[in-house]
Amino acid sequence: MSRYRTILIFGAPGSGKGTQGKILGKIPGFYHCACGDVFRSLDPASDLGAKFLEYSSKGLLVPDEITVELWHDAIRRTVEAGKFKPERDLLILDGIPRNVAQAELMERHIEVRRVFHLSCPDRDKLVARLKKRALRDNRLDDANEEVIRHRLSTYDSESKPMLGHYAGVKRHDIDASMTPLNVLHGILRGLLEEEALT
């Protein structure tokens, strides 16, 4: 089986990965998959759903093996359902892989063509966005500032080193504090470059 042609949207919680991923997923030829959405679609009463709540409510990452297995099952189902056509669509991943171990586990499934790093050194801006999201989307893991700060430090210690893992892949660093339209513009420029190469 060949690997899925993949674009990674990478960045801290609140950097706008989901906003951009959803927009891109509407364009024919792209399929968007957000790992957090896969977790949130689980029945909270199931073993896996309970595990997700246990970790996410503390601002922690769900263990790697479980996460990658769950993601792989979900993506396989979308292929079977004909929603994602790997021979036609570029896969846009947001929220996975989130650390080096996940990147290694996913190596046999995905061929990463480009990384879009939504960068926002202003942590207070991210915290403010997440608090707003907590009210809008009723997200438990965004509900208190301590959990938010924990997620941001998990991002610094576990997720950021992943950029080193993809050092050989073309990367675009985009200022995530810009408006969504400007961030989209930056991503589209990179995607057009990619399209011109294929």
Contact range with ligand ADP by CB under 6 A, out of 54-62, 111-119, 161-169, 172-180: 54-62
Q: Given candidates 23, 93, 96, 162, which one binds ligand ADP under the rule CB under 6 A?
A: 96
- Measured over the CA atoms of residue 100, residue 106, residue 107 and residue 111, the dihedral's sign is negative
Q: Which residues between 13 and 42 bind ligand ADP (CB under 6 A)?
A: 13, 35-36, 39
128 to 157: interface string for ligand ADP, x by CB under 6 A: -------------x---------x------
Q: Are 32 and 22 in contact (CB under 8 A)?
A: yes
Q: Is 56 in the site for ligand ADP (CB under 6 A)?
A: yes
Q: Given candidates 48, 61, 100, 143, which one binds ligand ADP under the rule CB under 6 A?
A: 61
Q: Is 67 in the site for ligand ADP (CB under 6 A)?
A: yes
**Beta strand 4-11 with 170-175: parallel, antiparallel or unpaired?**
unpaired
Contact range with ligand ADP by CB under 6 A, out of 60-68, 106-114, 163-171, 180-188: 60-68
* Torsion of the alpha carbons at 41, 42, 45 and 47, rounded to the nearest 10: -160
Number of residues that bind ligand ADP (CB under 6 A): 16
State the DSSP string of 111-163. Answer: EEEEEEEEE---HHHHHHHHHHHHHHH--GGGSSHHHHHHHHHHIIIIITTHH
Non-local CB neighbours of 69 within 8 Å, separated by 6+ positions: none
127 backbone φψ class: left, alpha, beta (φ>0; ψ -120 to 50) = alpha
Contact range with ligand ADP by CB under 6 A, out of 82-90, 94-102, 110-118, 121-129: 94-102
Q: Is 62 in the site for ligand ADP (CB under 6 A)?
A: yes
Binding region for ligand ADP (CB under 6 A): 13, 35-36, 39, 55-56, 60-62, 67, 95-96, 98, 102, 141, 151
